[in-house]
A and B are shown apart, each in its own frame.
Chain A
Amino acid sequence: MENLIFAIVLLPLFGFLINGLFGKSMPKNVVGGIATLVVFAAFCIATFLFINFDKTSQPIIAKAFEWFRVNGIQVNFSFQIDQLSLMMVMIITGIGSLIHLYSIGYMHHDKGFYRFFAYLNLFVFMMLLLVMGSNYIILFIGWEGVGLCSYLLIGFWFKNKEYGKAARKAFIMNRIGDLGLLMGVFMIAYHTNAFDYISVAQNASKFEVDGSIIIFICAALFIGATGKSAQVPLYTWLPDAMAGPTPVSALIHAATMVTAGVYLVVRSNFLYVLAPTVLDGILFVGLLTALVAAFYAMRQNDIKKVLAYSTVSQLGFMVIALGVGAYTAAMFHLMTHAFFKALLFLGSGSVIHAMGGEQDMRFMGGLKDKIKITHITFLIGTFAIAGMPLFSGMISKDEILVAAWAKNPIFWVVLFIISAMTATYMFRLYYLTFHGKFRGSKEQEHHLHESPLNMTLPLMILAVLSVIGGFINLPHIIGHGHYSKLQEWLSPILTESAKGQLEANLKGISVTTEYILITITVAMFFAVWLIVKNIYVNKGKLPVAEESYTGWEKLSAKKLYVDELYNALFVRTVEGLGRGGKMFDTNVLDKVVDFVGEGAEESGKSMKKLQNGNVENYVLVMSVAIGIILIVNFLLQ
C-alpha cells in the first residue's frame, strides 16, 4: 500500500526528469505520451486506492524517511492518504491527464514542446506533494513548488516581455500570501509542538475559542490562501496569468493550483472551528471577491479574461462556503468547478486554436457550425457554470446558496445576484463566440477547423463529467439524503463541531423554503438566458473596445481601476524607494569613492612636475636642503 502511495507521487517526477533531461532529442509524440501516461498511471493507482478505501477508513500514513528533528518536533517526509487527499489526488491526476492529452494537440507546433511537458509534470508532482503531504512542511514545499511551476508556465512564451511581467506579478503576489502561510505554520508548530495534521488536530483543543493565538494562526493561513486562491486583495495576478498557454490556464489556474487555498482551509478545519471570527472575515472576503470578479467578467473582451475572472468569482463561492462552515459544499464546488472550468478553458483553447491564436471576442462569432464538438461541449460547460438545473455546477452552487441562507438571508441575496451575473457573462461569452456573424478576417475564416481528436476527447469526457458530476452529492430535497455521497465521504476529515455548527444552521431551513430558493434560482437562470440571448442574438449587440465603453460598462472593462490603484500605491512606492536608493548611491556613495581616487590622481599629477629630468636641479635641491638642515641644526644648538 505504501509503495503505491509513493508511486503516485514519484511517477510525475519521473516524467519530469525524463522529459526535462532527454526531451529535446525525443520525438514529440514520445514526450507527450510519457508525460500523459505517467499522470494517467498515477490516476489509475489513485483509483485503485479509492476502491480499497471507504468512508470509514482510517488515514494511511506512508513515511518515506525522517527528514529532520528540531526542538523535539520530528518532521517526517511522509504522505497521508485520507478521504480529502484522495479526492484531491483524483481530481489532480484525472483532470491532469486529460489536459496533458489535450496539450499534445494544442502545443504541437510549439518549439518548447518538451519543456512544456516537463513543467507540466513537475507541476503535477508539486501539486501532489501539496495535497498528499502529511504535515504542513510538505504542504509548504508543494505550495512553493506549484507557485514556481505557475511562474514558469505563465512565462512560457518568455520572449514576449508582457508575459514575463505577468509571470513575475503572479510570483510576487503569491509570495505575499506565502509569507502569511509560513507565519501560520510556525505559530502552529510553536503552540502545538507538531507539524503533522493528526497531532496538530489532537493538540488543537488546548486553544481557547476565538483566542488571539488561534485567530492569528487562522488569519495567517488564510492570507496564504488569498494569495494562492486569488482572493481580494491578492487576486489581480490570476487574470494576468492567462498569458500562459491555455492548457496551463485550465490545469493550474482553474482546476487545481488555485484551489489549494480552499484545500488548506478544509484541511485545517480543526483550527478554523475554533476561530469563528476569522470565518466571518473569510466569508466577507469571499463575498467581495465573488462580487467584484463577476462584475469585471461582464465586459471583458478577451475570451480567456472572462473565464479568468469567472474563476476568481467561483473561487470566491468556495471561500464563502468555507466562511459559512460548509466545508463539504466548498469541496463539492471545487470538484464540479474543476470539471466545468477545465472544460470551458479547454474549449476556449480549441476556439483560439481554430482562430489561429485570436483571443478577442470582437473578432469571433458564428463559430457554432464550424467547430461543432467544441461548440456543444462549450455550451454544456456554460450551462453547468450558469446553473442549468441538475447540471453539476447548479447542484454544488445551490448547496453553497442554501448554506449562506442558513447563515443569514442577506448573504443568499448577494450570492443570488452574483449567480445572475455569472449566468449573464457566461451567456454573453457563449453567444458572442458561437452565434451571429463571423467578424474575423477572411484568412481566419478560411483557416477555421475543428481540433484533432486528442483535443476533443478531453472536451467530451469533461462535458460528461460537468453534466453528471453533481449527482455524487444531491441536495436533501431531491436525493432524500440517500445520495449525499460526498458529504458522507468527507465526514471523517471534518471535526464533530465543524459538522455540528452547519447542521444546526441548516435545521433552521424548512423544506418549503429550500424548494422556493431552488425555484427562484432556476427561474433566474432561464430569465437571464432569454434576456442575454435577446440582447446578443436578436438585437445583435456587439462588444466594443475597452475605451469606447461608458458608465458601469467602462468600470467593468477597466476592472474598477484596481490595477492602477495598486500601481499607484505599491509599485510606485517601491519604485520611488528604488529611485531614492539610486540617487543616494550615485550622488553620495559614488562621489566619496570618486573623491578618494581622483584626489590621489590629482596629487600625483601635480607632484610629478618636480621630476623634470634635469640632474642639476635635483642636486641643487639636495644641496640647498642639506644646507638648510645644517644651518637650522647649527642655529638650534
Chain B
Amino acid sequence: MSAGISNTIRELRGTRSMTQQELADRILVTRQTVNAIEGDKYSPSLEVAFRIAHVFGVPLEQVFHYEAPRNRRK
C-alpha cells in the first residue's frame, strides 16, 4: 500500500518510551494501523500523518520520507 514512503515513527516512539497503543489512542487509529504504518505497509492520510508529527512535536518531513522512483518514464 505504501510506495516509496518510509518513516521514523518507531525511533521517535522509542526515544519517548511510547507504546503503539498510546500513539494509536492519541492519533485516533487502531494499534494495528500504527503497526502497519511503522512497517511501511500502509501509508496514512495527510491528516493522520500531521497528527503523528504533532504528537511527537516534530515537522512532518522528520517523520515521513519520500523516495521517488528512479526509472520513471517521461
Same complex for A and B? Answer no
